[in-house]
Structure 1
């Protein structure tokens, strides 16, 4: 018997800590004798450092060290690549040579006894460069797309090329066809909490209090960089103030903090400025895409061609699943996808919420909307007519697919039937009203993870995993899983995360935390119950002494002989009898045979309404409804919060977010929150998130699918399609700006 905790909309168990200020983030872990480091960023976009004159600042009050490539230690930079790092290329070796590869690259670090003094000295440091003109625009004439090497390797999750049937021939002969290009701007993550690291050495052992979505990888990465045993590095990160992917990798500032701490022999705190977060911690790459669709008069697709390219740095090949969804989203006998990279003089891009799918599905869903209008078919109906029975790209069934149920729920909740078909046919006074729709999808990933459960004499349970929590409610949802499996209340479960010495967990990204870590906790709870029963049946003091192991069952946290109505001993009583806490560790991962048999994805349908002022071109999202098939929902309150956050991110992607680079030197000209626009309270309309009932026995032991990414994926195309419905003008670039619709 279980407590029925899973599925309840319970409040956050860490809520009080966050609102009271007792939750500690990376920069809050001040250490005795701590000093402060400030990074000096390159002011050229390409070239080399020719001179650094630090004499003037070295005599300034409080200055402890000025570290440059000339006096920095030569670091080991041993080979280390996790799945989160680009498989091709080599990470930036910070302060190891005089080369400048992109604007904002760290070229020095100043350490002082106060932050103010470190900042003043960093601003005064005199650096001379031999500058070259960088290439930062993927549309420049001499930028040649390349085939991403990793995407050609067997087993790669991203495919450089895929094809079935004769897509080009089918397109040429199709009764209805379209062939359009799409351009999505570079975006930066901009979470509330900036990147921060506090580093302290004790002999040859290093402790990092660091903002990280992947603490065990940060531990391994820093150990490899410094050439020390992994066990000599401890990474601690109990809370993250938003990340969206920006803290998945271990960026140069972590290395610099550790380097400075070792150099000066004191704990060092390093916090990036908002401006620096536009340089060295990744971004969503700008993408250029082409989608060509051919269809019969009834709307059935006969050809689908999706070609896309994304920017990357010259020293690493960053890849994402830009064209993957086009292979399975709709039924079509003739499909070709192509994915390329455009190397530029920029920092390496990074995964950003909904990576790949958010950009690729935007192009696909806008094209589907355009096809619907070309054929005079309702956009929802066009998608129904092209619903596949199986994943035609992999030629295997879906573990579950509820896209049409999502359209049923979303259409009803949104009131799609009240929409008039013709563009510019709906008004509210002088405002043009538009309604748009788009499909969403994201893979249902699961990665290997481990967890430890410890039963204590007071009847409580401690659960430990080296996971992270950047805000979706991981503390709460994992506590629910443990309470359900152990038959305890939430108050009796103490869940801990964010330490690299806990059992390993995958990165906190990719919408796989609940599927991976939750499944590991489930396995560990079963293991600790087995261990408790094993001890109980052989201990003469136990009420179930002598009972066959397989005859012991657990009811509400008590062990008893199977079928016996009398309550047996509790966890606390068994621990007391044992004389020590009862502990077990277990792991969980996806069965590769199951993965071979099924295609596993979450699906959703997103509806949006916009109002466009025809006089000044302003666009406002007035409301949006998303319906999602994500398997079992552990906590509906947290799930809706996740979806709302993703939908808001989609509003930013559609209408606001755009990092602009100066072509002369690659400088982000809007690297601040005054000009890099993100949605604020006044931009956020009525948002609804609904979940269709979906049981998936194959996807993982908990039957869950991630939803952090999918909620963003369909929002931008739904808004873009709504803008067309309102204005009659098709905009194929993101973000959609006032000047794009002023001519209406």
Structure 2
């Protein structure tokens, strides 16, 4: 049987999505379903002094208005509100008291028989505030920057390494120097599906919750802790997610409000957020970076300094890995990396695709390009001259690193050799043409996870794990892994996810799901295979009675003898000996820390971009781009390519269009709609190409895979900025690069 891993299998969930069979959090029906409408604060800081809900409550069909004045007594301890992605600090507690911490904070929930009535009733409620002065401008408050607080989150987001060598001395002595300040504004995730929760209230006070989340167990943990409900009485289901990008890593406030209302009213409730309210929780934080680089006259990097200041809320210390990448990519001996935070009157930022990575590399790779120009070297040649096989932060070798091949194959496919190096030297009629490139890197992580494999009485393989699929292709690749491991036709395999009744898995983020859940699926199917083999050995006149496990193979739904494939027993016959019951196995996959700790583990990329810049108007178009990725074993080239293309599109968005504009007078994001929050449309996207460079890695995980969710975006904005410089001769260090910055 031909292996399925490595083949471009169509998405197994595709039909359900395009036909509407796939249900999302706001689409589940329940008897006696009421609807909640969230009222958001109109100030950024202060207190609610009065809530007049009388007119709303007099409307027939309005059930209740919840606020801090009448909410039930709950657990208010910090730990009760912690979740799998919570940073150090005190998590936000909706409706806890009259305090307003940020603009758009939920201050009341109207519950009515219909959504339309709840929305209308909300318009009748009058809220008065005692307003206080607020601070929301990062660049105006850099003098208040401080080191982040430490906590459990720092295990996944380590602080910058200690300085190496003497940066100041060697930078001053460097023959070639560059130094610059790089700025980007906040960004919001804006997935197609807005956040919603449907709580089905059942007898004995049990709850079945359909939630938009990137981890059903995380929402279950949150609800159980906050409301003091036993885990067995809370079931969270989330089989489909209409985009997440990190916004669903933490439980959002509609979950809290829906559960609160359902428990108080003892009936089913749905709470959905509006597009404007999607701008009232979590975002990629604004960041200001200073990068200084020094090199010898021959172009050898000698000194690196990368300082970053990010924003966080007043109640939690959200951190990102912004500056560590320099030490992972370049072997300079004199390196100083710092990362600090400025608390502002905003909601806590949240991980957004390639958190910290796309931010830090957007600055670092632009500075590297500038240094290459000053040294008189081609940008690719400069990077090869400063190539390293070790992570200098940890002083560890990489488990695998085919970045050289990424440079070579990407440059060849792009036609980089035909580039003329002088800025403004290439044209296409009236437009300036620029070619730029950058390096990408992202950590390859492997987390603990569990999976169950079940062979049913009709010979079908059912595999499950409580992970998520935010559009990455998880359903498909897990089906492929299971089919190959147990030698089953793929049409006889079904993978299920997104339900807390299934074996535990971590939130889907960090590009670790393929490695993490994939390894668990592999182990579960292997263990199920061992159990089936033992059952086969006990069958009457079994041909495997004296055969060892390593002498058989699972193929085409049979166990076969390797030495003689004609000697075989079908899996259907084996399960038939189990008294009419399915055969199942639940297994845990753990990373091999003893082996992994000896290596640095990362996925690498080389990005090449062509832009055209209108000389009169300053408009920029990305006309073509090539990304070459060294991502270990590629499970499915079709879904993998889709991941990289999606990242490249978002890189174009970050580089040229995307920013959340804050009016600091009001402390409010003003472009809170898809009409004014600009993201690329089809007309913005031209020729995008992806190369998967062959790479074998036996260290990262049993499958040899490296995550691809983030690597597609990290190098794109810098490559675009570098191409814009090549086209125009102007270094733009503020993203996005809009026409006003080029005129």
Same fold (TM over 0.5): yes
- TM-fit CA distance, 1:232: 1.5
Quote the Cα distance in structure 1 between the aligned partners of 2:631 and 2:87. Answer: 30
Question: Who is 1:702 aligned against?
Answer: 703
1:68-83 alignment, distance < 5 Å: 68-77=67-76, 79-80=79-80
Question: Who is 1:315 aligned against?
Answer: 315
Quote the Cα distance in structure 1 between the aligned partners of 2:31 and 2:327. Answer: 56
- When normalised by structure 2's length, the TM-score is 0.97
Change in Cα spacing, 1:154 to 1:16, as seen in structure 2 (3 Å) is closer
Matched, 1:18 2:17: yes
Matched, 1:37 2:40: no
Matched, 1:469 2:489: no
Matched, 1:57 2:70: no
- TM-fit CA distance, 1:546: 5.8
Deviations 1:15-38 (A, max 9, x none): 111111111111111211111101
- When normalised by structure 1's length, the TM-score is 0.97
Quote the Cα distance in structure 2 between the aligned partners of 1:433 and 1:559. Answer: 60
Question: 2:24–2:212: 8 Å Cα contact kept in structure 1?
Answer: yes
Question: 1:199–1:207: 8 Å Cα contact kept in structure 2?
Answer: yes
Question: Who is 2:350 aligned against?
Answer: 350
Deviations 1:587-606 (A, max 9, x none): 11211112210000000000
- TM-fit CA distance, 1:673: 1.0
- TM-fit CA distance, 1:560: 4.3
- TM-fit CA distance, 1:62: 1.6
Question: Who is 1:207 aligned against?
Answer: 208
Question: Who is 1:591 aligned against?
Answer: 592
1:529-678 alignment, distance < 5 Å: 529-540=529-540, 542=542, 544-545=544-545, 547=547, 552-561=552-561, 563-579=563-579, 580-678=581-679
**Aligned with 2:396: secondary structure?**
coil
Quote the Cα distance in structure 2 between the aligned partners of 1:378 and 1:224. Answer: 56
Question: 2:44–2:102: 8 Å Cα contact kept in structure 1?
Answer: yes
Question: Who is 2:411 aligned against?
Answer: 411
- TM-fit CA distance, 1:261: 1.2
1:445-456 alignment, distance < 5 Å: 445-456=445-456
Quote the Cα distance in structure 1 between the aligned partners of 2:212 and 2:21. Answer: 17
**Aligned with 1:516: secondary structure?**
helix
Quote the Cα distance in structure 2 between the aligned partners of 1:376 and 1:680. Answer: 37
Change in Cα spacing, 1:156 to 1:643, as seen in structure 2 (3 Å) is closer
- TM-fit CA distance, 1:139: 1.7
Structure 2 residues not aligned, in runs of 5+: none
**Aligned with 1:626: secondary structure?**
strand
Change in Cα spacing, 1:123 to 1:543, as seen in structure 2 (3 Å) is farther
Question: 2:632–2:697: 8 Å Cα contact kept in structure 1?
Answer: yes
Deviations 1:295-343 (A, max 9, x none): 0011100001111011000100001111121111111111111011110
Question: Who is 2:720 aligned against?
Answer: 719
1:142-157 alignment, distance < 5 Å: 144-150=144-150, 157=157
Quote the Cα distance in structure 2 between the aligned partners of 1:142 and 1:600. Answer: 34
Question: 2:440–2:711: 8 Å Cα contact kept in structure 1?
Answer: yes
Question: 1:158–1:319: 8 Å Cα contact kept in structure 2?
Answer: no
Question: Who is 1:283 aligned against?
Answer: 283
Change in Cα spacing, 1:296 to 1:522, as seen in structure 2 (3 Å) is same
Question: Who is 1:67 aligned against?
Answer: 66
Deviations 1:689-714 (A, max 9, x none): 11000001111000000111010000
Quote the Cα distance in structure 2 between the aligned partners of 1:526 and 1:351. Answer: 34
Quote the Cα distance in structure 2 between the aligned partners of 1:354 and 1:147. Answer: 22
Question: Who is 2:478 aligned against?
Answer: 478
Question: Who is 1:239 aligned against?
Answer: 240
Deviations 1:201-243 (A, max 9, x none): 2233211100110111111111001011122211100101111
Question: 1:61–1:117: 8 Å Cα contact kept in structure 2?
Answer: no
**Aligned with 1:654: secondary structure?**
helix
Name the Cα RMSD after superposition. Answer: 1.6
Question: 1:456–1:571: 8 Å Cα contact kept in structure 2?
Answer: no
Quote the Cα distance in structure 2 between the aligned partners of 1:198 and 1:541. Answer: 55
- TM-fit CA distance, 1:160: 4.3
Quote the Cα distance in structure 1 between the aligned partners of 2:360 and 2:354. Answer: 10
- TM-fit CA distance, 1:85: 2.7
Change in Cα spacing, 1:153 to 1:540, as seen in structure 2 (3 Å) is closer
- TM-fit CA distance, 1:567: 3.3
Quote the Cα distance in structure 1 between the aligned partners of 2:151 and 2:468. Answer: 29
Question: Who is 1:423 aligned against?
Answer: 423
**Aligned with 1:88: secondary structure?**
coil
Quote the Cα distance in structure 2 between the aligned partners of 1:80 and 1:301. Answer: 48
Question: 2:461–2:492: 8 Å Cα contact kept in structure 1?
Answer: yes
Deviations 1:74-113 (A, max 9, x none): 2114525767433411111111100000000000000111
Matched, 1:162 2:169: no
Change in Cα spacing, 1:215 to 1:538, as seen in structure 2 (3 Å) is same
Question: Who is 2:685 aligned against?
Answer: 684
**Aligned with 2:108: secondary structure?**
strand
Change in Cα spacing, 1:152 to 1:10, as seen in structure 2 (3 Å) is closer
Question: Who is 2:175 aligned against?
Answer: 175
- TM-fit CA distance, 1:156: 6.0
1:351-366 alignment, distance < 5 Å: 351-366=351-366
Matched, 1:123 2:123: yes
Quote the Cα distance in structure 2 between the aligned partners of 1:126 and 1:164. Answer: 58
Change in Cα spacing, 1:435 to 1:328, as seen in structure 2 (3 Å) is same
Quote the Cα distance in structure 1 between the aligned partners of 2:84 and 2:138. Answer: 24
Change in Cα spacing, 1:82 to 1:91, as seen in structure 2 (3 Å) is closer
Quote the Cα distance in structure 2 between the aligned partners of 1:682 and 1:187. Answer: 22
**Aligned with 1:578: secondary structure?**
coil
Quote the Cα distance in structure 2 between the aligned partners of 1:313 and 1:544. Answer: 64
Deviations 1:510-547 (A, max 9, x none): 10110000000000010000111122223437553465
Structure 1 residues not aligned, in runs of 5+: none
Quote the Cα distance in structure 2 between the aligned partners of 1:655 and 1:154. Answer: 32
Question: Who is 1:92 aligned against?
Answer: 92
Deviations 1:272-306 (A, max 9, x none): 100000012x1000011011100001110000111
Quote the Cα distance in structure 1 between the aligned partners of 2:679 and 2:702. Answer: 38
Deviations 1:98-130 (A, max 9, x none): 000000000000011111111111122100000
Quote the Cα distance in structure 2 between the aligned partners of 1:404 and 1:475. Answer: 33
1:96-115 alignment, distance < 5 Å: 96-115=96-115
Matched, 1:222 2:204: no
